[in-house]
A and B are shown apart, each in its own frame.
Chain A
Amino acid sequence: MKSTIAKKRIMFAICVIPALAVFLYFVAVPFLETFYYCFTDWNGMTKTYNFIGFKNFEKIFRDKIFWLSLKNNVKFCVWGGLLTFGIGIFNAVLITQSNLKEKNVYKILFFIPQILSIVAVAAIWKFIYNPEWGILNGLLDTVGLGTLKHTWLGEKSTVVGALIVVWVWISVGFYMVLFIAAIEGISKDVFEAATIDGASSWQQFWTITFPLIAETTKTCVIFFLINAFTGVYSLVKTMTEGGPAHGSEVVTSYMYNQAFVRSKFGLGTAMGVTMVVLVAILSAILLIATRKKDAE
């Protein structure tokens, strides 16, 4: 008996240690280290550095560009969220409740942006937004709305909106697939009963579908929130690099600049930590707020 347990332990060690070592060293430790570097003035190159307490955080709170970046993150979160969930749920309801024979084709097509590299997406949308020969300005000219033409990614007033459109274009299909799964989990009988009782599609959505997919929506909103604060980095980086003149800067792109371009590793990590704390607080508020509703 003892020997089988020993054998089990050896097998366990052989199987788990390689994965564990790689995971700890390259994922877990760097994450924990951010909470250490954020209290230093390290520049990333010298061997020595000083502990400076909360000075980095003080600097961050006085930094106008940081607040501007955070505001842009909030815009991504609010406008991107409203559009993504509005269109995502709308598409999911259409695809599940309609009589379309080719439902599955749409489900497959709408998901495509999710599988593309952000680099491909950014390149494609740069072609669309090109001020001289881009598809968007061309389209506006053709329909006689030439006055609405813009240097979409080069003007402070349009750049965030232009990026949010791309963000929504990427995200809608993903959330739609999640909502389709949730709606398909609702029993068909419920909808049939409602139809017999004479409930319109609109009423059915608000009285049946929406309450029953609330749980999925909650998970999705938190997922989206985390992404709007951290995931947008790759989009901003590949499309505008935060420009023009910080017009589309988000916290993570600003953080990257401070750390890698200006060699302020300590300050950069402090920004990252601020972000983690902020997202954690927002998610907690969301969870608590929706829990109260459930109790009522």
Chain B
Amino acid sequence: MQKKKENSVATWLIRIYTILFSVTILFPLIWVIYSSFKTNQEFFQDVWALPTALQLDNYVRAWEKASIGRYFMNSLMITVIVVIVVAVMSSMATYACTRLGLKLGKPMVMLFMAGLYIPTVLCLVPIYVQMKNLGLVNSKWGLVVLYIASNLPFSIFILSGFYATVPKELEEAAYIDGCGYFATYARVILPITKPAMATVSIFTFMGSWNEYVLANMLISKPENNTLPVGLVSLQTAMEHVSDWTALLAGITILFIPMLLMYALCQKYITSGMTAGALKG
């Protein structure tokens, strides 16, 4: 009893600290969102003030004049394809490596997991050469392939951890019923591994949507830009035409999908990252 009383002042002190900390995280985001509804004039009069009216025109200018719409569509297309292909590829590969009982399975998983230790930044030059040889420089498909490759190790790592928890008896029952390997995979394994597939897909989505370094290296044609690269070039253009509120609208368009996804799938995201970091 005494302990609780003693703590109430302390608890409030802690609460003040945690609230202040939350403000340092949230305020910049909230500021970008509300400022994106101001006119440029309002913005420069007082950068702190709330907008007097909601200027949706900023979004129209960003979407059309600054080509954010096109970049958004490019990013969306690339991301969706990558998510689907990575889900299929990593799920099939993990199934084959962990459930068929072949000797090659384990070393194969280890090989993929070795990829977790390779920092992309250090391999930029050879990656570029590789893409050049294939004629994939400046191509959206080039990015698709690179994103698939770079997301496979983490996906296979997460899935193999999950597959280890699925009891063997389930498949054996299916084999006895006369199911082939593929039917067993599609009808028995795939439905059970849905939660792990969700984690994998969310991570691939975040990784591809947010990616900047590879896209910046590979794509120089404006029409093939992804949203992050497009926004950086918009920022550079700001030095000449200062349409800051359109830029703010562009930034909002970039991070809102991620915030929504986080709000909906927060548990998958933190648990996946924890698993990945502690073993990887």
Contacts and interface: CB of A to CB of B under 8 A. Distances in A.
Interface of A: 7-9, 11-12, 14-16, 18-20, 22-23, 25-31, 33-34, 37, 44, 91, 94-95, 98-100, 106-120, 122-128, 133-135, 138, 169, 173-174, 177-178, 181, 195, 216, 219-220, 223, 226, 230-231, 233-234, 237-238, 252, 255-256, 259-260, 265, 268-269, 272-273, 275-276
A23 B181 contact: no
B50 interface: no
Contacts of A16: 92-93, 96-97, 108
B277 A26 contact: no
A52 to B, nearest CB: 16
A169 B26 CA distance: 11
Contacts, number: 245
Q: 9 smallest A-B Cβ distances: which pairs?
A: A15-B96, A26-B149, A117-B210, A30-B126, A33-B126, A230-B119, A119-B228, A15-B92, A272-B122
Interface string B235-271: 1000000000001000100110011011000100110
B93 A219 contact: no
Given A22-B149, A108-B266, A124-B28, A30 B123 contact: yes
Given A34-B125, A127-B28, A174-B273, 7 more contacts: A16-B96, A22-B149, A23-B111, A100-B14, A109-B25, A116-B258, A127-B32
B18 A128 contact: no
A26 B93 contact: no
A110 B23 CA distance: 10
A34 to B, nearest CB: 6
B47 to A, nearest CB: 5
15 contacts: A16-B108, A19-B152, A26-B146, A27-B123, A34-B122, A94-B17, A109-B22, A109-B26, A117-B228, A120-B251, A124-B28, A134-B47, A178-B277, A230-B121, A238-B212
B15 A117 contact: no
A234 B212 contact: yes
B164 interface: no
A18 B156 CA distance: 13
B273 A8 contact: no
Given A22-B149, A99-B11, A138-B47, A272 B29 contact: no
A233 B232 CA distance: 15
B81 interface: no
A100 B90 CA distance: 41
B150 interface: yes
Contacts of B101: 8
Contact of A15 (B95, B121, B228): B95
A98 B123 contact: no
Contact of B48 (A11, A123, A138): A138
Contact of B254 (A117, A126, A138): A117
Contacts of A20: 93, 108, 111
B217 interface: yes
B93 to A, nearest CB: 4
Contacts of B17: 94
B68 interface: no
- Of the candidates A20, A117, A237, the one having the most CB atoms from chain B within 10 angstroms of its own CB is A117
